[in-house]
Structures are given as C-alpha cells and as structure tokens.
C-alpha cells in the first residue's frame, strides 16, 4: 500500500513561540533518470574479459540545510552579479556577496537556491503554487485574486499612519469606483508576514541556467502572530515529492523537505515554561495594578443605568428609503452628564421583501448612561412612582425627489431590570381632517407632524391626573424592532452581596421596591378576596340546591 501513496501538496500550519532565526530546513534533491529506473543490461564479453557498460548518466543528488531567510544564490544569479554593472541598493549587496564567494577560488554548482522576502520574486503577483504538475493547468480566479492580495509593497521606506485617531468622514463615505488597493484593504484583514521560497534549478549541467527551468520546491510564510505556513508540508518519513522538467527529455526529480531545527530537551522546555509563567504573572499583576481592586462606584443613593441598544429594523411602512430619528426622554429625577449624547439619526435604508413584509435593516448602535437620585424634600414626591426613561422614535422617508414624509411615531420604555431584551413597537402617524392632506403627502411630500414628540407617550407639559387624546386622528403604520442591553450599578448591590440579605436600601429610596411591594400586596389581597368570593358563591349554590331539593320532595 505504500507504493500507492501519493504525496500531498497542500499547506500545513504550525504555531511556535521560539525565535524564527532558529528555524532550519533540510532539503534533499535527487534526479531520477532512465538509467536509474530501468535496470542495466547484462555485461558483455569482449576479448574474454567481462566489461560492464557504465550508466550514461550518473545519479545527481544534492542536500543542503537552509536557515530561515538565508540567501542561497543560483547559477543564473551568480553569473548576473559577478560583473559590476553599477548596481544599486539590494543588487549592490548581492554583487558584494557573490564577489566574496568567488574570491574563495571555488565556483558553486548547486541546484538548490532560495528567494528571501525582499527579493523581487517574492514580491511579484505571478507566483501561484500549482497543485499538480500538469502543463495544461491554469490558476483559478480565486488563486489569482489571493495571489494579488498577498502582494507586499516593494521598498524599504517607512509607511506612516494617515491618521492617529479615529475619524469618520462626513462626505464621500461611499466610493462608487473603488481602487484595487482600497478593495483589498477593506475586504481582507491580513496580518503582516514574511515569505521564503525554496527553489531548484533543473537545467542540465552542460548548458547555462534559464528561468524557465527554475521550479518552486516549497513556500514558507510566517506572519506576525507566529503562525508558520509550510507548503508543501514536511515529508516526515513519507514518500518524496516529485517534480518534472518542462524541457525536452522530461527528466524527473524527487525531493524531500524535513525539519532540521534543534529540538529542546526536557530541561530547557521546563525552563522556558517557567519563564513564560513568570512573565504572565507579572503581566497579570501589572493589569491588576492598573485596574484596581474596586469598580468605579456611583455616589450613595444613586442608581447608575447603562443602556447599549440597537435599532435593528423597520418594516411594513408605506414608502421606501426609511430612516429613524430618536432621542431619550428623561423623566423626573433622571440626569445625564453634559457630554452624553441623547439624540441620534440613522442612515437611510431601502426596504427588501422578506416573505410578505417590506423590511429595512438598520443595525444602528447607540448607548447612553443615566443617573437616578430622588433628592426631593417633598414627601409626596418621595412616594411618587419612579418612571424609567423613554426612547422616542420617529420613522421618516426620503424619496429621490428629496421629499420628506413622516411614516410613524412610537416609543420604547427602558426595562426596569438588567438584562437583554428585544422589543417590537408598533407605530402610528397623525392624519389630516381632509383628503387634501393625503394628496399633498403623496404628490408634494410632507404630512402632519407632532410639535412635541413626547406627545407620543405622555406629553412633557402634562400636569393632570388623567390623560385624554380623544379627537386626535391617527393611522396605524409599520413597526420598529429595538434591541436593548441594560446594566445597573449601585452601592446597594454590594451591600446585598456582602450582607447576604435582600436588596432594599437604595431601591426603597427609589420607590421601586415599595411600588412593587404595594402592587404585589394589592394583587395578593385581590386574589384572596376573589377566592373567598368564589368559595362563598359555591357554598351559596350548595345551600340553594339543598333547599330546592327539600321543597320538591315535600311537594311530591
């Protein structure tokens, strides 16, 4: 079964924390010719002496140990850089290295050579690794695109950041004709990496080397996260890889790539793990010192409310191209810091048909932080039921003629308990007293609007005990879906954890517990009264049945 095994040219990934300068590869290249595959003929007798016919071509074998980013020159590069042609930059450095090699008196005659990260070969976009050695194979569209994305900038100039802080442009946010560089930066988040190519020159020894006879034996890439990509993988005792020349004759070569780095012994591994644990512990102590032992707590008798929300979607409205304007309405005793934003406007979104609904997906995030403290000296106000903030929403539409229309109003109450909640709120919009207002809305744009948007719930100017909106004409429109994540923070929560008792000090001052307790007591009393009433009713029916039965018997 070993003869039926075919080597895998796929990529293998490794992760290492060791210095990359210690990485070594053992590469062995052997030429397999017809004289090696076909057995030689029997020796012939000539003048009574047995003479064996020598092989026409001897086996060509080469083995070399390569260090990470080690430059090994090919025969073509040696011939190119041995003569000074006024080279500059990297080529000048290669000329000096080749001159130093030739000054030793020996001319290298190696087949295996390398291209390092700063070579032009490594920076080009045409190096697509083929999965087979078929001459008719062409790279796929995906292979060409990914090869283009792996391109790095040639040159050693420093690249400064365009901006040091986050910035959202106010104009030209959407580029209708993006460049390839912009598309690659926005669509592919690739970590910086270094690459190294292990190459082989398969040209015959008797003639000069040509670029057409140079083949890729392996590609080694290392990113900044310590992930090593080896393509193809190390042989590790498996069958060698096979490569074939493209020239006339079709000579076959076999090669093997093995890991040749020095392996740490058990004592060195334990020492390294001990060092890592010490570094991690020091880093943990440093973070603990920066953060502190306690959270930032609000003032006593103050409830801190943090809301992280999202306007998810809107659906089933009359017109297309919707956007939402919403703000947070603060009831009595609720405050916010001066820099806190409490009003937002979403982007304009076109609707899409999902089932039977026309849905506009906004996915617009928002967040705010509020504080509640009942510092009133009036006893009636202290006993007043606390109201949580309201999020007032207005849905509008904007068509291609820049006509604005009010599509609906609604509000969402911030939950009075921490946690995540998804709320779907139905909308309405005011309508005029005649058909002319609807015709004006359709043709000209514009529609009846609320002068005070808090009229959606309870008007801010309302002072009475009973609210009546009788006579106000509205029409049901679509609905808006909002996701809310609520967090609460107060000193009373710490007291509950430390004293292991029910939470009451702060929330009682807020009136939340008192109101909940009163409501619970009223419901419990109503439940008991209802049970007593039902029991009395059943007893009365039984007594009536008994009395009626006796009267019937006496009558009979």
Question: Would the pLDDT of 391 be above 90?
Answer: yes
Question: Would the pLDDT of 210 be above 90?
Answer: no
Question: Between 122 and 500, where is the model more confident?
Answer: 122
Angle at 480 between CA 477 and CA 482, to 5 degrees: 165
Mean pLDDT, the chain, rounded, equals: 77
> How much is the pLDDT for 54?
45
**Distance between first and last Cα of the chain:** 106
Q: What is the value of pTM for the model shown?
A: 0.50
Lowest mean pLDDT among 125-134, 299-308, 338-347: 125-134
Lowest mean pLDDT among 146-155, 201-210, 333-342, 394-403: 146-155
Residue 196: partners with Cβ closer than 8 Å, 6 or more residues away: 68, 69, 114, 115, 116, 117, 122, 219, 220, 221
Comparing CA positions, the residue from 85, 146, 176, 81 lying closest to residue 119 is 81
Question: Would the pLDDT of 169 be above 80?
Answer: no
Other CB atoms within 10 Å distance of the CB of residue 326: 24
Asked whether the beta carbons of 111 and 128 are under 8 A apart, the reply is no
> How much is the pLDDT for 342?
93
Give the position of tokens 């007032």. Answer: 392
Confidence of residue 129 (pLDDT cuts 50, 70, 90): low
CA distance 331 to 388: 7
Question: Would the pLDDT of 499 be above 70?
Answer: no
CA-CA distances (angstroms) from residue 221 to 88, 141, 166, 184, 191? Answer: 27, 22, 31, 19, 11
CA distance 425 to 411: 7
Lowest mean pLDDT among 174-183, 384-393, 512-521: 512-521
Other CB atoms within 10 Å distance of the CB of residue 488: 15
CA distance 411 to 388: 12
Other CB atoms within 10 Å distance of the CB of residue 261: 15
Question: Would the pLDDT of 325 be above 90?
Answer: yes
Helical H segments across 59-213, by residue range = 75-81, 90-102, 120-123, 141-149, 180-187
pLDDT digits (tens, 9 = 90+) for 178-188: 777 777 666 65
Confidence of residue 165 (pLDDT cuts 50, 70, 90): very low
pLDDT digits (tens, 9 = 90+) for 98-117: 888 888 877 777 888 999 88
pLDDT digits (tens, 9 = 90+) for 20-44: 888 898 999 988 865 444 444 444 4
Say which DSSP state 136 is in.
T
% of the chain surpassing 70 pLDDT? 74
> How much is the pLDDT for 514?
52
Comparing CA positions, the residue from 111, 113, 199 lying closest to residue 97 is 113
CA-CA distances (angstroms) from residue 375 to 311, 372, 452, 496? Answer: 33, 9, 28, 23
Asked whether the beta carbons of 53 and 45 are under 8 A apart, the reply is no
> How much is the pLDDT for 513?
53
Lowest mean pLDDT among 171-180, 217-226, 267-276, 316-325: 171-180
CA distance 6 to 554: 107
Strand partners for 196:
220
Q: Averaged over 288-296, what is the pLDDT?
A: 78
Say which DSSP state 236 is in.
T
> How much is the pLDDT for 349?
93
Comparing CA positions, the residue from 198, 249, 168 lying closest to residue 62 is 198
Question: Would the pLDDT of 278 be above 90?
Answer: yes
pLDDT digits (tens, 9 = 90+) for 50-87: 444 444 445 578 899 999 989 988 888 888 888 877 78
> How much is the pLDDT for 412?
95
Q: How far is CA 251 from the centre of its chain?
A: 48
CA distance 135 to 143: 17
Question: Between 525 and 312, where is the model more confident?
Answer: 312
Lowest mean pLDDT among 133-147, 238-252, 460-474: 133-147
Half-sphere exposure of 53 (CA within 13 A, CB side): 11
Comparing CA positions, the residue from 321, 311, 481, 477 lying closest to residue 396 is 321
pLDDT digits (tens, 9 = 90+) for 227-266: 888 888 888 888 888 888 876 667 888 899 998 888 888 8
Strands (E) located in 33-122: 44-46, 49-51, 61-67, 112-115
CA distance 388 to 496: 23
């Amino acid at each position: 079964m070993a003869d039926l095994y075919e080597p895998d040219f796929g990529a293998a990934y490794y992760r290492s924390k060791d210095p990359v300068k210690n990485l070594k590869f053992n590469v062995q290249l052997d030429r397999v010719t017809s004289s090696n595959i076909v057995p030689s003929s029997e020796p012939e007798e000539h003048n009574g002496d047995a003479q064996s016919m020598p092989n026409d071509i001897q086996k060509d074998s080469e083995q070399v140990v390569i260090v990470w980013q080690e430059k090994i020159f090919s025969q073509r590069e040696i011939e190119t850089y041995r003569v000074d042609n006024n080279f500059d930059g990297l080529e000048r450095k290669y000329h000096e290295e080749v001159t130093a090699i030739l000054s030793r008196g020996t001319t290298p005659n190696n087949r295996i050579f390398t291209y390092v990260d700063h070579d032009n070969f490594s920076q080009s976009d045409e190096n697509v690794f083929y999965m087979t050695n078929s001459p008719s194979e062409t790279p796929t569209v995906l292979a060409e695109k990914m090869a283009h994305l792996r391109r790095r900038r040639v040159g050693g100039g420093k690249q400064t950041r365009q901006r040091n802080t986050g910035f959202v442009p106010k104009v030209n946010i959407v580029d209708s004709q993006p460049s390839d560089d912009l598309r690659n930066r926005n669509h592919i988040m690739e970590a910086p990496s270094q690459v190294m190519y292990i190459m082989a020159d398969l040209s015959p020894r008797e003639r000069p080397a040509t670029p057409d006879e140079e083949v890729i034996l392996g590609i080694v890439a290392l990113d900044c996260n310590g992930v090593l990509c080896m393509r193809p993988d190390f042989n590790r005792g498996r069958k060698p890889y096979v490569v074939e020349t493209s020239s006339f004759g079709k000579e076959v070569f076999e090669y093997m790539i093995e890991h040749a780095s020095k392996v740490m012994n058990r004592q060195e591994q334990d020492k390294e793990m001990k060092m890592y644990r010490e570094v991690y512990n020091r880093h943990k102590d440093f973070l603990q010192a920066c953060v502190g032992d306690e959270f930032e707590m609000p003032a006593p008798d103050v409830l801190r409310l943090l809301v992280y929300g999202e306007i998810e979607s809107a659906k089933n409205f009359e017109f297309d191209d919707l956007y939402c304007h919403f703000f947070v309405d603060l009831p009595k005793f609720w405050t916010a810091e001066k820099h806190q934003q409490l009003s937002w406007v979403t982007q304009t979104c076109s609707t899409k048909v999902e089932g039977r609904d026309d849905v506009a997906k906004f996915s617009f995030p928002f967040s705010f932080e509020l504080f509640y403290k009942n510092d009133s000296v009036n006893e009636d106000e202290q006993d007043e039921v606390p109201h949580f903030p309201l999020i007032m929403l207005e849905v509008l539409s904007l068509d291609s003629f820049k006509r604005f229309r009010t599509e609906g109003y609604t509000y969402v109450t911030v939950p009075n308990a921490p946690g995540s909640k998804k709320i779907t709120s139905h909308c309405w919009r005011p309508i005029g007293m005649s058909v002319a207002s609807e015709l004006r809305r359709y043709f000209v744009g514009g529609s009846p609007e609320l002068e005070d948007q808090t009229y959606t719930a309870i008007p801010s100017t309302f002072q009475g005990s009973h609210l009546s909106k009788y006579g106000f004409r509205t029409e049901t429109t679509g609905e808006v879906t909002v996701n809310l994540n609520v967090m609460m923070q107060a000193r009373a929560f710490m007291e509950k954890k430390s004293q292991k008792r029910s939470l009451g000090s702060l929330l009682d001052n807020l009136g939340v517990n008192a109101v909940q307790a009163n409501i619970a007591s009223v419901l419990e009393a109503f439940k008991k009264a209802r049970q007593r009433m039902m029991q009395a009713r059943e007893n009365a029916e039984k007594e009536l049945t008994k009395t009626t039965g006796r009267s019937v018997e006496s009558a009979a």
